[in-house]
Amino acid sequence: METLETERLVLRQFRESDLDAYVAMTGDPDVMRYLGSGPMNRSEAWRNMAMILGHWRLRGFGFWAVEEKQTGEMLGRVGCWRPEGWPGLEVGWALRRVYWGKGYATEAASASLEFAFATLQERHVISMIHGDNLASKRVARRLGMRLEGRTEIFDIPVEVYGIRRAGATIAGTPALRS
């Protein structure tokens, strides 16, 4: 599994020691409001972490645990996601509420987007966002994504934001355009 670093973050594989922080995140109704499944109990959160690790095993990519470099705290999950039946490769993000509004989602999602284009060689990446999730829409727009349409995932209506990779690269980093 690939590990990524940004200025303030490490995107790494989930560890069993992340469970308490992950339970805090997935059990928070405010965090889970737009994520479909709603709040999770401890055993559901553990199974969800296991599913994320299984996605890595089956697809070779997935969500990373996001760790703050300065403190070593696990902040949430961010990464590339394409379970069976998904309409495309998605960059998704979810952070513990205490870390909202600090630019971490944009920082980690930007690294994930670069990974999708440079390493996975994706030409088009999406993010599916609940229509009422204004904060995630702002993150998508900061990434250069634009609204491309609407669909339903698990009977939940979502807006599909997307971005295409431009053909040229600059200093080894894909040039992005929406």
Enter the pTM of the model: 0.90
Backbone angles phi, psi at 56, to 5 degrees: -60, -45
Distant-in-sequence, close-in-space partners of 72: CB < 8 Å, separation ≥ 6: none
Distant-in-sequence, close-in-space partners of 53: CB < 8 Å, separation ≥ 6: 13, 14, 62
- Confidence (pLDDT) at 155: 85
- Confidence (pLDDT) at 170: 32
Over pLDDT 70: what percentage of the chain? 93
47 conformational bin, left if phi > 0, alpha if psi -120 to 50, beta if neither? alpha
pLDDT digits (tens, 9 = 90+) for 32-66: 999 977 899 999 999 999 999 999 999 999 999 99
pLDDT digits (tens, 9 = 90+) for 124-168: 999 999 999 999 999 999 999 999 999 998 888 999 999 998 753
- Confidence (pLDDT) at 178: 37
- Confidence (pLDDT) at 176: 41
Q: What is the mean pLDDT of residues 100-125?
A: 97
- Confidence (pLDDT) at 64: 98
Distant-in-sequence, close-in-space partners of 143: CB < 8 Å, separation ≥ 6: 91, 106, 109, 110, 113, 127, 163, 176
Distant-in-sequence, close-in-space partners of 14: CB < 8 Å, separation ≥ 6: 22, 49, 52, 53, 63, 64, 65, 77
Residue 75 structural domain: 4-177
Q: Which two tokens stand for residue 77?
A: 């999950």
Over pLDDT 90: what percentage of the chain? 86
Domain count, the chain: 1
Residue with tokens 């790494």: 12
- Confidence (pLDDT) at 122: 97
- Confidence (pLDDT) at 37: 75
147 in Cβ contact with 133 (< 8 Å): no
Q: What is the mean pLDDT of residues 13-30?
A: 97
- The CATH number assigned to the domain holding 84 equals 3.40.630.30
- Confidence (pLDDT) at 167: 57
